[in-house]
Chains A and B, each alone.
Chain A
Amino acid sequence: MTTVTAPESRIARTVRAIVTARETGILLALIIVVLAATIKNPTFLFSSDGFRDLLLTPSILLLVAIGQAVVIITRNVDLSVGSTLGLTAYLTGRLFIDVPGIPIVAVFLIGIVFGGLLGLINGALVAFAKVPSLVITLGTMYAFRGINVLWAGSDRINSSDMPKDFLALGTQSVLFIPVLTIIAIVVLVVAAWFLRNKRAGRELYAIGSDPDAANLYGLKVTNRLLGAFILCGALAGLAGVLWAARYGTVNSQAGTGFELQAVGAAVIGGVAIFGGSGSLWGAAIGAYLLFTINRALPILGVQDFWQRAVVGVLIIGAIVLDRLLAQRQARKLVEARDSNG
């Protein structure tokens, strides 16, 4: 055995990469869940509503999970995304009420920028104050939600407050694919491409892999962390705007608990909780699995109160699996080294 493998053809390399990828397993799990539910009840997939729901329901979480995964890859976490989403969703409604005739595009832009600003607050506190992001964003999670409650009080935004065209975005489809899903997938493709092909994207992995080494290396750690948190906030902001469009009503509690679902999606999708590895594709599939399993379990006859437990088992299972895989790889690499030396 040597550490240098025989040169493989490009195709063989690609095939091997796909088969052994962490994402493949989770994708298989998703397919199995969909198949099982469809066999039990064909309308789960083969009805226009069923197919639409399958794609539509996880789309908003998908956006938040992408941002969360980017932050987790840098060995941080953002627990404030649910509150950011809620605050932006309420802001969206207020904009339509307080600024009559405001263009929909402008609302989207304002929502994204607003979310990005909230992300900047998190990022600045983490990058400059050097306080663990878990603590910072736990604080901002309550703070942002508090502002939301203060602002909204017992008011709620109703669908009648928002323009029809805007609400249509939440339900419309293009070529059988919901608009929300298209937006989420476009964001996913762009972000995944960025993380894989741009220097800044790779540096996020480097920072998460070993923050001290990143410093010694001279990487712009502060800038990159700020960037990751801003992106995460901006995506939560976009998700907030889409939330308003999708559900039509927004109260002060919109998006509560979303932060943990986003973390769960990323972890289930193979993003290592200690940073440095994982992909946005995995996080996206994780988001789909998380929501699809919730819809599939009642069809499969699993009682309501077991559903959360199943999600918990899924998360723990994913982490245990990651741990085992990492140990196996470390052992293999060391063995390869020893037999080589």
Chain B
Amino acid sequence: MSDSTERVTPALELSRIAKAFGAVIALTNGTLALNAGSIHALVGENGAGKSTLVKIIAGLYQRDGGDFRLSGETVDFTSTAQSKAAGIAVIYQEPTLFPDLSVTENIFMGRQPLRSFGRIDRARMHEEALGLFARLGVRIDPDRPTLGLSIADQQIIEIAKAISLDAQVLVMDEPTAALSGVEVERLFAVARSLRDEGRALLFISHRFDEVFDLCDTVTVMRDGAYISTSPIADTTVEEIVRQMVGRDVTTLFPKTEHPIGNDVLVVDALNQPGVFHDISFTVKAGEIVGLAGLVGAGRSEIARAVFGVDPYASGSVRINGKAIPRRNPAAAMNLGLALVPEDRRKQGLVLESSVARNATMAISGRLRKLGLLFSSTENAAARVWSSRLEVKTASLDTEAGTLSGGNQQKVVLAKWLATNPSILIIDEPTRGIDVGTKSEVHRLLSQLAGEGLGILMISSELPEVLGMADRVLVVHEGHITAEISRADATAESVMFAATHSIAPTTKEAGQ
């Protein structure tokens, strides 16, 4: 699409790649050109399609449309082995190692150096592994199993793997997410030396300081589509953030204003080493507090700890002045806390059970008569909330798994509302729900808040957070980096806090 004439053939070029999973469209226009001897940044919000693009490059997914060229030749990878053989190494967000096998074996699996009779040359493999680690400047025992290694060390092993593969194209999907400052510097030194050797690198990161430090070109994606590519020197953080967010916060969110009461949920100095640190916040009656941040920032972990599913090392959680014991979700439930989990199919519902059974699951103890549970009692209890929430189902005996995403979410909501909670924690309330039902869920949340329920809403969708929340807490790498009032919350200010360790000065601008 560019009109430059003396452009060199890119090492890897994607143009107008499309990919859908059933009805869900992940990519509409994936476009990217990586040049040899360059480090290219790919940025975008959660769900912008970056990971899908990476998986297409890796040969894990096959594209539905568009062109994929490697050094000018069109390629069609049907397996990861093919993409690897073509000189593409991909380092995933989550390292993919074999825990039972040694570090060395993990690096060389499938292409170990051989001696006579096709024997694996263990001595040489050991030497090469040591050489790789020396080059990377790390000390890892090559003979130990990878089980129990830190994410940072696992990441280093993935990189050693890619280097030993002599890959011409190296894709790194958020390699620095779990690394410390020193480790990041080390990684960058390696990345630069690989660039100077004439390889093409793709670097996906949410940390703009790193992008500007390391990369020479940046491509922005949004909603599964290509937005822009520009040399790093010609752009600014503000510009990129604007392109990433790029859409208007629509009036899709029927938020109603209503009075806000006293503190109901008080979380004080919650700590869990390695997961979240010094988390303090309150949720008032009738208030919707948005918990924003990038995927993996620790939002769900915080919610799970508050509810008592996950442990925490120190800190306290109080609801209506009563302390909630650690690791005791049943007690949290009795004290008036409800948690609608992110993965409703796995954690929120029993898909094989009926709508009525699911909707009354949290109060089945109360419905029991002489220890027996009758479906007539279940149905009667379920009817109350499912009709209020307008669950669209043929009958209350329908299997929950057959409902649409939005209606499933309503059943999960009904289940918790039946316990008459005073605080509702809801994780990604509208993930995987179609637009129409989405606003219905939003109206419902707004209405519940109007009736005095305090809501803690975790969401990765900026418009949802901005549209619904009375107050926004932003989590970045396990810390709350900003608390922004509704009036001051903009896409830019939330995104900035979500990608930077130090909060901007919007904190007390509200009052």
Nearest to A333 among chain B residues (CB) is B148
Nearest to B105 among chain A residues (CB) is A202
Bits for A195-210, please: 1 = Cβ < 8 Å to B, else 0. 0011100110110111
Is the Cβ of B100 less than 8 Å from the Cβ of A276? yes
Which of chain B's residues have a CB closer than 8 A to the CB of A215?
Answer: 80
Which of chain A's residues have a CB closer than 8 A to the CB of B140?
Answer: 3-4
**Distance of A212 Cα from B95 Cα, bound (Å):** 11
**Distance of A334 Cα from B150 Cα, bound (Å):** 8
Closest beta carbon of chain A to B141's beta carbon, Å: 5
- Chain B: how many interface residues by the 8 Å CB criterion? 36
- Contacting A at CB under 8 A, from B61-89, are 79-85
Is the Cβ of B147 less than 8 Å from the Cβ of A199? no
Is the Cβ of A213 less than 8 Å from the Cβ of B98? yes
The yes or no answer to A40 lying at the interface (CB within 8 A) is no
Is the Cβ of A329 less than 8 Å from the Cβ of B147? yes
The yes or no answer to A316 lying at the interface (CB within 8 A) is no
CB-CB under 8 A for A203 and B110, given A217-B96, A334-B148: yes
Which of chain B's residues have a CB closer than 8 A to the CB of A277?
Answer: 100
Nearest to A215 among chain B residues (CB) is B80
Which of chain B's residues have a CB closer than 8 A to the CB of A205?
Answer: 98, 100-101
The yes or no answer to B10 lying at the interface (CB within 8 A) is no
Tell me which of B92, B97, B144, B149 contacts A210 (CB under 8 A): B97
Closest beta carbon of chain B to A194's beta carbon, Å: 10
Q: How many A-B residue pairs have CB under 8 A?
A: 96
Bits for A59-76, please: 1 = Cβ < 8 Å to B, else 0. 000000000000000000
Is the Cβ of B99 less than 8 Å from the Cβ of A209? yes
Is the Cβ of A216 less than 8 Å from the Cβ of B80? yes
Is the Cβ of A218 less than 8 Å from the Cβ of B79? yes
Which of chain A's residues have a CB closer than 8 A to the CB of B111?
Answer: 199
Which of chain B's residues have a CB closer than 8 A to the CB of A4?
Answer: 139-141
- Contacting A at CB under 8 A, from B112-135, are 112, 114, 118-120
CB-CB under 8 A for A209 and B79, given A216-B60, A333-B147, A334-B148: no
Closest beta carbon of chain B to A5's beta carbon, Å: 6
Closest beta carbon of chain A to B278's beta carbon, Å: 20
Closest beta carbon of chain A to B82's beta carbon, Å: 8
Is the Cβ of A216 less than 8 Å from the Cβ of B92? yes
Nearest to A219 among chain B residues (CB) is B110
Is the Cβ of B149 less than 8 Å from the Cβ of A337? yes
Which of chain B's residues have a CB closer than 8 A to the CB of A199?
Answer: 110-112, 114, 118, 120
Closest beta carbon of chain A to B140's beta carbon, Å: 6
Closest beta carbon of chain A to B174's beta carbon, Å: 16
Nearest to B121 among chain A residues (CB) is A197
Which of chain B's residues have a CB closer than 8 A to the CB of A217?
Answer: 80, 96, 109-110
Q: Which of B80, B83, B85, B98 has the most CB of A within 10 A?
A: B98
The yes or no answer to A324 lying at the interface (CB within 8 A) is no
- Contacting B at CB under 8 A, from A235-277, are 272, 276-277
- Contacting A at CB under 8 A, from B344-388, are none
Closest beta carbon of chain B to A216's beta carbon, Å: 5
Bits for A3-14, please: 1 = Cβ < 8 Å to B, else 0. 111000000000
**Distance of A199 Cα from B84 Cα, bound (Å):** 17
**Distance of A4 Cα from B81 Cα, bound (Å):** 32
**Distance of A5 Cα from B110 Cα, bound (Å):** 27
**Distance of A210 Cα from B145 Cα, bound (Å):** 13
Closest beta carbon of chain B to A309's beta carbon, Å: 32
Which of chain B's residues have a CB closer than 8 A to the CB of A308?
Answer: none
CB-CB under 8 A for A206 and B98, given A3-B141, A333-B145: yes
Q: Interface majority SS on A: helix, strand, loop or mixed?
A: helix
CB-CB under 8 A for A333 and B149, given A3-B140, A205-B98, A206-B98: yes
Nearest to A341 among chain B residues (CB) is B150
**Distance of A217 Cα from B81 Cα, bound (Å):** 7
Is the Cβ of A218 less than 8 Å from the Cβ of B110? yes
Closest beta carbon of chain A to B142's beta carbon, Å: 9
Is the Cβ of B147 less than 8 Å from the Cβ of A218? no
Tell me which of A208, A212, A330 contacts B148 (CB under 8 A): A330
Which of chain B's residues have a CB closer than 8 A to the CB of A323?
Answer: none
Which of chain B's residues have a CB closer than 8 A to the CB of A208?
Answer: 100
Closest beta carbon of chain A to B14's beta carbon, Å: 20
- Contacting B at CB under 8 A, from A285-339, are 329-330, 332-334, 336-337
Which of chain B's residues have a CB closer than 8 A to the CB of A336?
Answer: 148
Is the Cβ of B96 less than 8 Å from the Cβ of A218? no
**Distance of A82 Cα from B118 Cα, bound (Å):** 33
Closest beta carbon of chain B to A125's beta carbon, Å: 21
Which of chain B's residues have a CB closer than 8 A to the CB of A206?
Answer: 98, 101, 105, 109-110
Closest beta carbon of chain A to B101's beta carbon, Å: 6
Closest beta carbon of chain B to A199's beta carbon, Å: 6
Which of chain A's residues have a CB closer than 8 A to the CB of B83?
Answer: 218
Closest beta carbon of chain A to B320's beta carbon, Å: 38
The yes or no answer to A164 lying at the interface (CB within 8 A) is no
CB-CB under 8 A for A210 and B80, given A216-B92, A329-B147: no
**Distance of A336 Cα from B100 Cα, bound (Å):** 17
Closest beta carbon of chain A to B248's beta carbon, Å: 39
Which of chain B's residues have a CB closer than 8 A to the CB of A214?
Answer: 98
**Distance of A130 Cα from B85 Cα, bound (Å):** 26
Is the Cβ of B96 less than 8 Å from the Cβ of A220? no
Nearest to A2 among chain B residues (CB) is B139
Closest beta carbon of chain B to A20's beta carbon, Å: 13
Which of chain B's residues have a CB closer than 8 A to the CB of A210?
Answer: 96-99
Nearest to B81 among chain A residues (CB) is A218
Is the Cβ of B84 less than 8 Å from the Cβ of A218? yes
Bits for B137-168, please: 1 = Cβ < 8 Å to A, else 0. 00111001101111001000000000000000
Closest beta carbon of chain A to B91's beta carbon, Å: 11
Q: A217-B109, A330-B147 are in contact. List 5 more A-B contacts (CB 8 A).
A: A4-B141, A206-B110, A210-B99, A329-B148, A333-B147
Tell me the B residues contacting A by CB distance below 8 Å. Answer: 58-60, 79-85, 92, 96-101, 105, 109-112, 114, 118-120, 139-141, 144-145, 147-150, 153
Tell me the A residues contacting B by CB distance below 8 Å. Answer: 2-5, 197-199, 202-203, 205-206, 208-210, 212-220, 272, 276-277, 329-330, 332-334, 336-337, 341
